[in-house]
Amino acid sequence: MLEARLEQANLLKKVVDAIKDLVQDCNFDCNDSGIALQAMDNSHVALVSMMLKSESFSPFRCDRNIALGINLGSLTKVLRCAQNEDILTLKAEDAPDVVNLVFESAETDRISEYDIKLMDIDQEHLGIPETEYAATITMPSAEFQRICRDLSALSESVSIECSKEGVKFNCQGDIGSGSIHLRSHTNVDKPELNVEIDLTEPVSLTFSLKYLVNFCKASGLSNQVKLCLSNEVPLLVEYALSNNSYLRFYLAPKIGD
């Protein structure tokens, strides 16, 4: 059986909120290392990969592999019934029909309990190899969100160019063009504002802003976001969580036909 207790319901609320517009039905794969999710969007150009390590829960117990097929719309409805600070416990039997969620208020003696019916989801899993990317940019997640939002007002696509000069986000649209240039930057007092660019070779790739704006819904999960790029391969956008847990998004680049 599965029993996983999260100190704050907020974490799961934010994760689900960040991915629910991209993917609808997905399997939460539970085993002794934690709870993982991998799902592609309908057009198969974007992929979500979530890992909540067992260390992110206390306690965490999962005796055998369980796939919980959950509709994220349903999960969102139930998670709205939890206060952000509630303690959240996920429970399921070994061959479950439902997943059970218990919300406990640390301040009051209120305990609420919900069951969500599970679905059989036949999901394709992709093997994503560990990749040495040509450029890795670590930057404030709010800054990345702002760039994507600002440029999406002008264009459907953004080109991300990374060179030893820094990183340039460029777009061209009907009304004109825009570009934002960032260089490596260290703020000793506010390290969350740091921009770090790790480059082994120059990279230039174009991506759909619609998807990037969508990924940025995860900004509330982490102060910093990591963008990993190599020419001609999908972009990795990573939001690191505590205990080596993470929320990652992959996006296929736009290429000439």
**Using CB under 8 A as the criterion, which residues of the chain lie in contact with other proteins when the complex forms?**
40, 43-47, 124-129, 157, 206, 208, 233-234, 250, 252-257
Side chain identity at residue 248, one-letter code:
R
Shortest distance (Å) from residue 87 CB to other proteins: 34
CB closer to other proteins, 82 vs 203:
203
Shortest distance (Å) from residue 42 CB to other proteins: 11
- Cβ-count burial of 47 within 10 angstroms (0-12 exposed, 13-18 middle, 19+ buried)? buried
CB closer to other proteins, 129 vs 176:
129
CB closer to other proteins, 11 vs 158:
158
For 14, the 3-state DSSP assignment is helix
Single out the residue of 256, 174, 190 nearest to residue 223, CA to CA: 190
**CA separation for the pair 92, 115 (Å, rounded):** 10
N residues, the chain: 257
Separation of first and last alpha carbons in the chain? 49
Single out the residue of 50, 55, 12 nearest to residue 32, CA to CA: 55
DSSP state letter for 76: H
**CA separation for the pair 180, 140 (Å, rounded):** 14
CB closer to other proteins, 59 vs 256:
256
Shortest distance (Å) from residue 19 CB to other proteins: 16
Shortest distance (Å) from residue 40 CB to other proteins: 6
Q: How many CA atoms lie within 13 A of 60 on its CB side?
A: 16
Shortest distance (Å) from residue 171 CB to other proteins: 13
CB closer to other proteins, 35 vs 46:
46
CB closer to other proteins, 236 vs 247:
236
Shortest distance (Å) from residue 153 CB to other proteins: 19
Shortest distance (Å) from residue 205 CB to other proteins: 11
**CA separation for the pair 124, 77 (Å, rounded):** 26
**CA separation for the pair 227, 136 (Å, rounded):** 6
Beta-ladder partners of 37 = 50
CB closer to other proteins, 64 vs 125:
125
